[in-house]
């Protein structure tokens, strides 16, 4: 089993930045891919960014390309999401997810991920 815990959410004005962190514990050798998803009220959960832990390849949803950066610190079992130039439409609950996953050039769907954190709220005001 893998436990994931997110931190770093908060409220910020449009154009601002936030950095989310996801710390893994338990069987941390099991997943090879960690992603960030988000879900706004009344909307489906959507993939934002993913990183493969071995080679470090990253993938982003088009809505965040050039603004968000996903990175890993293997020694600390941590994956971070640096979010810049935030927009009101980025407002959502952000979730960290992990999986043992075949390589894909996309973030993937929620049902591809086996482990989930509790989420952290990000609110961007105009």
Write down the pLDDT at residue 27: 85
Grade residue 99 by pLDDT with cuts at 50, 70 and 90: very high
Q: Rounded mean pLDDT of 11-28?
A: 95
% of the chain with per-residue pLDDT over 90:
87
CA separation for the pair 107, 88 (Å, rounded)? 22
- For the range 51-60, what are the long-range contacts, defined as Cβ-Cβ under 8 Å and sequence gap of 24 or more? 51/79, 52/103, 57/103, 59/104, 59/105, 59/106, 59/107, 60/107
Q: Where are the alpha helices (DSSP H) in 18-126?
A: none
pLDDT at 74 over 90: no
Query: CB under 8 Å, gap of 24 or more: what pairs does 44-52 form?
Result: 45/95, 45/110, 47/106, 47/107, 47/108, 47/109, 47/110, 48/81, 48/94, 48/107, 49/81, 49/107, 50/106, 50/107, 50/108, 51/79, 52/103
**Mean pLDDT confidence for 45-60:** 95
Determine the pLDDT at residue 11: 98
For residue 103, is pLDDT > 90?
A: no
Q: Round to whole Å and give the CA distance between 55 and 46.
A: 24
Averaged pLDDT of the chain: 95
13 band by pLDDT with thresholds 50, 70 and 90: very high
């Amino acid at each position: 089993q893998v436990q994931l815990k997110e931190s770093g959410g908060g409220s910020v004005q449009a154009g601002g930045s936030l950095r989310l962190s996801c710390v893994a514990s338990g069987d941390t050798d099991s997943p090879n891919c960690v992603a960030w998803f988000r879900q706004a009220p009344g909307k489906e959960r959507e993939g934002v960014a993913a990183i493969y832990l071995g080679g470090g390849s990253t993938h982003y949803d088009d809505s965040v390309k050039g603004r968000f950066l996903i990175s890993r610190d293997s020694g600390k079992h941590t994956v971070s999401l640096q979010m810049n130039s935030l927009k009101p439409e980025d407002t959502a609950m952000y979730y960290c997810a992990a999986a043992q996953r075949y390589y894909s050039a996309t973030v993937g769907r929620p049902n591809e991920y086996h482990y989930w954190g509790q989420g952290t709220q990000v609110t961007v005001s105009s």
